Structure 1
């Protein structure tokens, strides 16, 4: 997917209502996970990403800083994010427990 023309979200848009459910694309533009929920505010907050699994079953939740994800909207208005991590790197992170 070409993300160059996608509109980057502003800091005030980084809210749970906007970000939850967003697909995360990794370094090789592979789908690596989906935002399950957000901890904290839009500055210094954490995104809990479900990595792996199938249809939400068997996914591993990992927490990453919001500022490590580049959130944007595509041509249809759908929110997604880019990260420099691969799926394997995210899977290797400690499991997040609420």
Structure 2
């Protein structure tokens, strides 16, 4: 019966001895005679405040969104509406995806036109259309846009710039 209390006492004493020697080893003097220092984490300098962001104010009549806007030909023919904008790797706007033809989405197809072929002269409100510098026949002949496939961009005469990756 005496063995259990004696064993517990030895185990506690050994644990206390190990803790004391471990703490003493952490505080041993360094080479060069420096004084013992407790193990502490390095202090972190407070973060400097981030500079404020730049701010640009655009007047309400000076800029408008283009998604969903109607697209018309120079002769006022309905050419569809813009459903997406395509940018290159640098973030430069290259083209617009136009949902062309059909009625209420039935029979329509998406084509891609060069951004420079679009003119945004009057877009003060949502009822104003964007003008496309192409004829309806040119747009009908354009290949259909499919995601994850090479994009064929229809451009106005002489205005299309090749993409160089």
Fold-level similarity (TM above 0.5): yes
* Structure 2 unaligned spans of 5+: 1-60, 148-165
1:65 equivalent in alignment to 2:65: no
Alignment of 1:13-92 (within 5 A): 13=63, 18-40=65-87, 43-71=92-120, 72-74=122-124, 77-78=125-126, 79-92=128-141
Contact 1:50-1:62 within 8 A present in 2 as well: yes
Structure-1-length-normalised TM-score: 0.71
What's the C-alpha RMSD, in Å, of the aligned pairs?
2.4
Higher helix share: 2
Distance across 2 between alignment mates of 1:60 and 1:85? 17
Higher strand share: 1
Distance across 2 between alignment mates of 1:92 and 1:54? 18
Q: Over alpha carbons, which structure has the higher Rg? A: 2
Contact 1:20-1:35 within 8 A present in 2 as well: yes
Distance across 1 between alignment mates of 2:138 and 2:115? 17
* Structure 1 unaligned spans of 5+: 1-8
Structure-2-length-normalised TM-score: 0.44
Q: How many residue pairs end up in the alignment? A: 83
1:96 equivalent in alignment to 2:134: no
Give, in angstroms, the shift of residue 66 of structure 1: 1.1
